[in-house]
Amino acid sequence: MNSGSKPLLLGAASLIAPAIANPALAAEQTPQQADLGSFAVTDTAVTGGSYKVERQSSPKATADLVDTPRSITVVTRQLLEDTSSTTLAEALRTVPGITLGSGEGGNPLGDRPFLRGSDSSNAIYLDGVRDIAATSRETFAVESIEITKGSDGITNGSGNAGGSINIVSKSPEKRRFINADATYGTKDYKRFTADINQPISDFVGLRVSGMYHDQGVAGRDYVWQRRWGIAPSIKIGMSGPTSLTLDWYHMQSSELPDQGIPYTRIASSFGPGYYEVAPLGTDPFTTANGGTVQRRRGTFYGLVNRDFRTTNSDAFTARFEHKISPDVKIRNTFRYSNTEQDYLWTLPDDSRGNLYSYGTISRRVNARYSKQDGLVDQLDLSGKFNTGGIQHSFAAGLEFNWQKSAIGNYLSDTSGTAVALAIACPTATTGTNGICTSASNPNPFDAFNVPVVKGPNNSQTFSDWTTLSAYVFDTITLSDKWMINLGGRYDRYLTHVSASSAAPYTAARTWQRRVDDLFTYQAGLVYKPRPNGSFYISTSTSAIAPGSFLSQGLEDNTLTATTIGVDALKVQKSTTYEAGTKWNLFDENLSLSLAVFQTRTTNVRANLGDGTVGFIGDKRVRGIELGISGNITDKWSLFGGWAHMPSVMLNGGYTLVSGAYVPAAITGKRAPNTPLDSISLTTTYKVTPKVTLGGGAIYMGKVYGGYAYGSTPATVRAVYTPSYWRFDANAAYQLTDHIGVKVSALNLTNKLYYDATYVSHYAHQAAGRTILASLSLKY
């Protein structure tokens, strides 16, 4: 990292030096001087402002949101605070059209959002740079979150079939302020955050954000989460045409993870040979052998003295910017990142029919230790120019991106026996013990008399990929009423993967290598009948190269999951068509958007059931989305929308059943993690200058996890989580100009619902009613 960053730092220093030597040059660029001597309290600098944003932060954005022919939603800092969203997952629940998947097997614990039904864990970015690490992301150092929906390969490269998520970090500002918050709540919830912004001079600014978080989970026994983080940054060139920003992000977390709730296997018929199965509820039911199962809401199926999850994340970023002219700017972003995650957690498994037949649950273990390193350098040139009477707003760039991961399993002995094999219920008739526990009354303190050790080097899967990219965007303004949006991207994608060898892990390691040349594009036409509104049509594409998930995330996209030759693998491709309209109303304080779309994915890969991989295709998601964000009046704010997404797996490939290939159970069914309808609405109203009331509502339709055949191909079993409504409320009172208090009630009605589903075994139960009381200091 040091050798790679020296040229950047030296080059930046040489460009900044003239501005330091000539203060007049800096002053000429900045009409507003920094307030160095006193604290200022304003909505924009201290509280994060409103819900409305005019433009994306990325240099690749070549037009305001109202003139961009794509569905883009921005979650602002103010919205994060109003909804008490402390993690990326909590923030994304405020955006319709997004669901959350669970980790298991090839999908590690961490953020796994689905945008318009596509796994987007490989489409998360931090300040425009890919952040593929398996982790649960915090919001203490986040300024906003930008969600682009639809095929988005052109913006950031391989992946992004359903869209992308860009997290915008806090950075030094010109105005001096201090924000500090202390929160206490249900289940001994404790959270402390601080955000200090201090201009050192007119030219240099410093900002430090910090967080400590410790909580149990309402409605869940024994589960706890603890984490802390710090994010310092310094900007040299606050007032000049040239700047260098250096920042470091560090977060550590430790928790007793919540393994979730098993599916019941008590089937409800929805037609001949088709059954839908929901998670085990709290109502009693009778098992096949005449017993009764009734779990409490807080029932925990894990082992308190064994299960754990730890995460350690670091990222160092250096961003250099220089304004070449009033209309042209160059920017270079360099980042090195490292993430380590270890866990051993219990998955409540009913794959042998224990629950339905005898009322027991198999305590199957998921175990992993992993490390990921990343290095990226991205050079952007953006600006405006005219050709005759036609105006161009352009962005072009080059990118080098290298990512590496090492993933291993915890084992029960040094000879290579996996922990999971040591604790599965041998048969459906196995009696209750520490391994096959009661579904009604599991003992979380059962002994686990199996050693746990990290596997040797050859038990790990190594993956790395390198991408060389070039891209260009252009918004062409033909007249006051017509605009054209064009863009293209080329990626040279080199992947290397070495799968773990078989126990006892003494065989020589082998490597798979693959090179893909990817081209993606976007094109849109915008008609503006008035300056504050637009109608548009657009198309965009994405391409997902095999291996792009670094042997994690999407299970069907790894070079290690197939016995066929690596050269026979194909690139998954998706194409989105969209038409819509956007309007800024009420003196452009409120944004409204409406879009209809279709995304079709081809060359979707799937396991055929015999260890080989087939190229099934394709999946289609159609829909309509309505969005709203901003202020109706200076007192009343709104954010939310509605997404309606009919989907279908047009071809699910084939499955090996009883020695014969038959069409897969998923063919013709609704795509997993794609609810038919989802709704969210958040609102606040300033009743008096000191009193603000707010609330929120979230609706999520039925979400299917997966489909599988029963004992014969004639019987299909579908697992799902039921639809739900969730309601939140909050009230804030400003005691003085600097001190405020707030009370929030999350899941106000204490609704029992499930907020993430896995393809077969379990669903994650959401937190119950959570009451939070906060004290805020702003100077």
In this predicted model, which residue has the larger pLDDT, 526 or 130? 526
**Cβ atoms 124, 131 nearer than 8 A:** yes
Name the band, by pLDDT with cuts 50, 70 and 90, for residue 697. very high
In the structure, what pLDDT confidence band is assigned to residue 455 with cuts at 50, 70 and 90? confident
- Give Cβ neighbours of residue 423 (< 8 Å, ≥ 6 apart): 362, 363, 364, 365, 435, 448, 450
Q: Distance between CA atoms of 723 and 431, rounded to whole angstroms?
A: 34
pLDDT band at 103 (very low <50, low <70, confident <90, very high): low
| CATH code for residues 2-778 | 2.40.170.20
Task: Provide φ and ψ at 77, rounded to 5°.
Answer: -60, -40
A 10 A CB-CB count for 25 gives 15
pLDDT, residue 11, reads 37
Average pLDDT, integer, range 244-272: 85
548 vs 168: which has the higher pLDDT: 168
- The alpha-helical segments, DSSP class H, found in 399-507 are 419-423
Which tokens belong to 28? 């000429």
State the chain's mean pLDDT as an integer: 84
| Residue 32 pLDDT exceeds 60 | no
4 or 123, which is more confident: 123
Give me the mean pLDDT over the 753-770 stretch: 89
Q: Is the predicted pLDDT of residue 43 greater than 60, yes or no?
A: no
Q: Cα separation of 699 and 681, whole Å?
A: 9
Tell me: pLDDT of 611 over 70: no
Mean pLDDT of 162-168: 91
At 535, the pLDDT band (50, 70, 90 cuts) reads very high
Q: Which of 216-220, 648-652, 712-716 has the lowest mean pLDDT?
A: 712-716
Please give the angle made by the CA atoms of 56, 61 and 63, to the nearest 5 degrees.
90
In the block, tokens 């080989």 appear at 612
pLDDT at position 268? 62
Q: Quick one: how far is CA 315 from the chain centroid?
A: 17
> What are residue 773's phi and psi, to 5 degrees?
-120, 130
573 vs 425 pLDDT, higher one: 573
Whether residue 276 has pLDDT greater than 90: no
Give the three-state DSSP class for 21.
helix
Beta-bridge partners for 471: 397, 489
For position 9, what pLDDT does the model report? Answer: 33
Angle formed at CA 292 by CA 286 and CA 294, multiple of 5 degrees:
105
In this prediction, residue 662 has a pLDDT band, given cuts at 50, 70 and 90, of: confident
Confidence check: pLDDT of 397 > 70: yes
Kindly report the pTM of this predicted structure.
Answer: 0.89
Give the residue with greater pLDDT, 660 vs 508. Answer: 508
pLDDT for residue 30: 37
Confidence of residue 336 (pLDDT cuts 50, 70, 90): very high
Range ranked top by mean pLDDT from 62-76, 108-122, 449-463 = 62-76
pLDDT digits (tens, 9 = 90+) for 475-509: 999 999 999 999 999 999 898 888 887 777 788 88
Higher local confidence (pLDDT), 349 or 712: 349
Q: Judge whether residue 551 has pLDDT over 60.
A: no
Report whether pLDDT(226) > 90. Answer: yes
What is the share, in percent, of the chain residues with pLDDT greater than 90? 54
For 553, the 3-state DSSP assignment is: coil
Mean pLDDT comparison of 491-500, 548-557, 564-573, highest-scoring range: 491-500
Q: Is the dihedral of CA 422, 428, 430, 433 positive or negative?
A: positive
The predicted pLDDT at position 108 comes to 58
Q: Which two tokens stand for residue 141?
A: 């150092």
Q: Please give the residue that has the higher pLDDT: either 734 or 23.
A: 734
Model pLDDT, residue 27 = 37
Which stretch of 223-232, 293-302, 606-615 has the lowest confidence by average pLDDT?
Answer: 606-615
pLDDT at 617 (0 to 100): 66
Longest dimension (CA), the chain: 87
558 pLDDT band, cuts 50/70/90, is low
**Percent of the chain at pLDDT above 70?**
83
Instruction: Supply the DSSP string of 365-404, one letter for each residue.
Output: EEEEEEEEEEEEEEEEEEEEEEETTEEEEEEEEEEEEEEE
Burial class (CB in 10 A: 0-12, 13-18, 19+), 54: exposed
Give the per-residue SS3 of 307-350.
CEEEEEEEEEEEEEEEEEECCEEEEEEEEEEEEEEEEEEEEEEC
Ranked by mean pLDDT, the top range of 19-33, 63-77, 265-279, 547-561 is 63-77
Residue-level pLDDT at 134: 73
Give 214's pLDDT tier (boundaries 50, 70, 90): very high
Q: Is the per-residue pLDDT at 419 higher than 60?
A: yes
Say which residue, 615 or 271, is predicted with more confidence.
Answer: 271
pLDDT confidence tier of residue 260, bands split at 50, 70 and 90: confident
Three-state SS for 444? coil
- Minimum mean pLDDT among 64-78, 262-276, 721-735, 761-775: which range? 262-276
In the numeric block, the tokens 């702003």 are attached to 778
Q: Across residues 69-87, what is the average pLDDT?
A: 95
For 448-477, what is the mean pLDDT? 88
Question: Do 529 and 481 touch, CB atoms closer than 8 A?
Answer: yes
69-85 b/e with 16+ CB inside 10 Å = b?
bbbbbbbbbbbbbbbbb
624-646: average pLDDT: 95
Confidence of residue 567 (pLDDT cuts 50, 70, 90): low
**By the 8 A CB rule, do 551 and 558 touch?**
yes
pLDDT of residue 416: 67
Q: Residue 66 corresponds to which tokens in the numbers above?
A: 């109202």
Structural domain boundaries in the chain: 2-778
pLDDT tens for residues 665-689? 888 889 889 999 999 999 999 999 9
* Identity of the highest mean pLDDT range in 133-137, 238-242, 320-324: 320-324
Helix (H), strand (E) at residue 746: strand 739-746
- 595-631 residues labelled b (16+ CB within 10 A) or e (exposed): bebbbbbbbbbbbbbeeebbbbbbbbbbbebbbbbbb
**How confident is the model at residue 143, as a pLDDT?**
95
Which residues contact residue 51 at a Cβ distance below 8 angstroms, ignoring those fewer than 6 apart?
A: 76, 78, 79, 629, 630, 631, 637, 638, 639, 682
Is the Cβ–Cβ distance between 231 and 141 less than 8 Å?
A: yes
Q: Report pLDDT for 92.
A: 94
